[in-house]
Amino acid sequence: MGLTLAELTQAIRRKVDIDMEVIVAESIAEHALGFFGFSNRIIDNALEPTDRNLFYQLQDYDLLTTESEETTLWDGREWRIHYWKFKPEARDFARRAMLEGAKAAEDEDPYAGIYDDVPTSLWKERMTDEDEEDDWEEPLF
């Protein structure tokens, strides 16, 4: 599987709602990853109905897929076992989502710190007498 909690969290946010709170997406990701442990797939019978619904939603978001295998029982009957596993491209999508999320955080406001390097003395030097009466730094309460 190889998906980390952070990767799956970002993938869920990108697939479901980019404005989703990180803690909500992280709890969903942690819940889903908790079933897999160190395996790359889990058996469907291990899931409760509510957990299976979550897996169906993750399947709708192209993160999970199912597979099945058939085996012959000792009495000759065929038995089908269903598994859930993360799609191979889910990890790639999750990594791209993390990189895009980090880039978006950097690109949020390119002008945010534009005046941070301007010394205070330069501002005071440019002030007029009218500006000095400004109560910008006066406490409000």
Range of the domain at 73: 5-107
Contact call for residues 87 and 64 (beta carbons, < 8 A): yes
Contact call for residues 55 and 47 (beta carbons, < 8 A): yes
Least Cα distance to 1 among 57, 121, 11 occurs for 11
Query: Is 90 contained in some domain?
Result: yes
In this prediction the pTM is 0.61
What's the CATH code of the domain at 63? Answer: 1.10.10
Indicate the number of domains in the chain.
Answer: 1
Interval 6-60: pLDDT, tens: 888 888 888 888 888 889 989 988 888 888 877 788 999 989 999 999 999 989 9
Interval 97-130: pLDDT, tens: 777 766 655 556 666 677 777 777 776 666 665 5
Query: Is 58 contained in some domain?
Result: yes
Dihedral sign computed on CA atoms, order 7, 52, 34, 89: negative
Query: Is 129 contained in some domain?
Result: no
Query: Is 117 contained in some domain?
Result: no
